[in-house]
Amino acid sequence: MNNSAQSRKSWLTLLVMAGLVAAIGLGAAYYMEEHGHVVTGMNNQIVWGIPHVFAIFMVVAASGVLNVASIGSVFGQSAYKQRAPLSGLLCLALLAGGLMVLMLDLGKPDRIIVALTHYNFKSLFAWNMVLYSGMSGLVAVYLWTMFERRFNAWSKPAGLAVLVWRFVLTTGTGSIFGFLVARQAYQSALLAPLFIVMSFAWGLAVFLIVQSTIYAWHKQQLPPEVQRRMARLLGIFVAAALYLVAVYHMTNLYFARQGTFEAFILRDGGVYTLLFWFAYVLLGSVGPMLLIFHPKFQSERGMLAASVLVLLGAIAWLFVFIVGGQAFPLEIFPGFMASSSFADGAIALYQPSLPEFLLGIGGLGAATVLIAVGVRVLDFMPKDVAVAQAHA
């Protein structure tokens, strides 16, 4: 079997598997729609569960993956410029997958027409409708300027517009939580920059995994210099995200009213504490930095392993942040202890159900289908030969 036939077989296998995962996710959404949220692990206190974890991850990563395009088009780095089209494709696919999960998880997805026609501009959720649709439109125009030679001169202005828009979009996503004063775990101005920096790490990790897969299909090797540069950049982003997470928790510890919440997350939270320290800090941050910066592990496999760990750490951190933040009881009367038959002052229990997992993973499957089709239909393979000649 020649390389072309083998590549086509691998592509078809991935497409079928991803399509099956997406279909299972849609089936899970239908099951929850028919039977109601009683078949999920969610309750009156924890209304955002595992599907929201996956959805927020994809939306934030969609913004961060465009960092590759921004470095190339806006800042003129030729190695990254060759990867700008692939970066734009990944952004559209991840955004579509994340929004699919959001709509199907919130219930009554047919009501999306109301959100599109009636805006309450005092609500960040309403603003995000504008931000998401605007992001998709701008990235589509950006890709057009790169593929159509007559409009290549407009690639830099389009890239600059996308750069600004994605900063605003990620700020809006972080601000949804930052302005949510009804939850003691959130309401922090640090969440907007934290989400921006985390988007850089998560998006680049996704990009590196997809890029290596495409190179494997074409039986090509990623140029060592490009590999080292992108791996180091991922390590810097991971370190910056870990630093801001530490600042976020140190800031909370400074305020006396947040002491009990921090003790819950960092020490007494059971599965949330375990996921935070072991899955996010150790495996999702320290592990990738070790694989990237230690000379013994500096290879393409080490870079891929680091990328996978970053993504697993991202899911773990979002679970702790979103679900753990809701599980912690509301402080309705500061300075007093409240208790009632409604379990006031008690830690809420949450056990994700299988349909929830399937819906969240289904969004990843849908994004993978879009990526696989886009890569096959259009030429998203980075032109490293051109880069090498430019530096010669």
> Is the CB of residue 224 less than 8 Å from the CB of residue 299?
no
How many angstroms separate the CA atoms of 107 and 51, rounded? 12
Of 90, 87, 89, 95, residue with least CA distance to 128: 95
Q: Residue 77 class from Cβ within 10 Å (0-12 exposed, 13-18 middle, 19+ buried)?
A: middle
The CB density around residue 40, as the number of other CB atoms within 10 Å, is 24
* Whether 245 contacts 251, CB under 8 Å: no
Residue 180 contacts residue 38 (beta carbons within 8 Å) = no
CA distances from 257 to 88, 208, 329, 336 (A): 43, 41, 13, 12
Domain boundaries, the chain: 11-331+349-382
Q: Can you give the pTM of this predicted structure?
A: 0.90
User: Which distant-in-sequence residues (6+ apart) come within 8 Å of 290 by Cβ?
Assistant: 297
**Position 24, amino acid:** I
Show contacts of 337-344: CB within 8 Å, 24+ apart: 343/45
Q: Say how many C-beta atoms besides its own lie within 10 A of residue 122's C-beta.
A: 7
Write the DSSP assignment of 118-184 as a string of letters: ---TTSHHHHHHHHHHHHHHHHHHHHHHHHSGGGGGGHHHHHHHHHHHHHHHHHHHHHHHHT-TT-T
Q: How would you class 286 by CB atoms within 10 Å of its CB: exposed for 0-12, middle for 13-18, buried for 19 or more?
A: middle
H-assigned helices in 148-294:
155-178, 191-217, 224-254, 259-263, 271-274, 287-293
Per-residue pLDDT of the chain (392 residues; tens, 9 = 90+): 555 677 777 778 889 999 999 999 999 999 988 888 888 888 888 888 999 999 999 999 999 999 888 887 777 777 788 888 899 999 999 999 999 998 888 767 777 777 677 777 777 777 877 888 889 999 999 888 888 788 888 888 888 888 899 888 898 888 888 777 667 778 788 898 999 999 999 999 999 999 988 888 877 788 888 888 999 999 999 999 999 999 999 998 888 778 888 889 999 888 999 999 999 999 999 999 999 998 888 888 899 999 999 999 999 999 999 999 888 887 666 666 666 666 666 788 888 899 999 999 999 999 999 998 988 887 777 776 444 444 43
What are the structure tokens assigned to 379, written together?
Answer: 């030429």
Give, in order, the Cα–Cα distances in Å from 223 to each of 153, 339, 383, 384, 391.
27, 62, 11, 7, 13
CA 54 – CA 363 distance, rounded (Å): 8
Cβ burial of 376 (10 Å; 0-12, 13-18, 19+) is middle
Q: How far apart are CA 65 and CA 92, in angstroms?
A: 10
Class of domain 11-331+349-382: mainly alpha
How far is residue 162's CA from residue 19's CA, in Å, rounded to a whole number?
Answer: 29
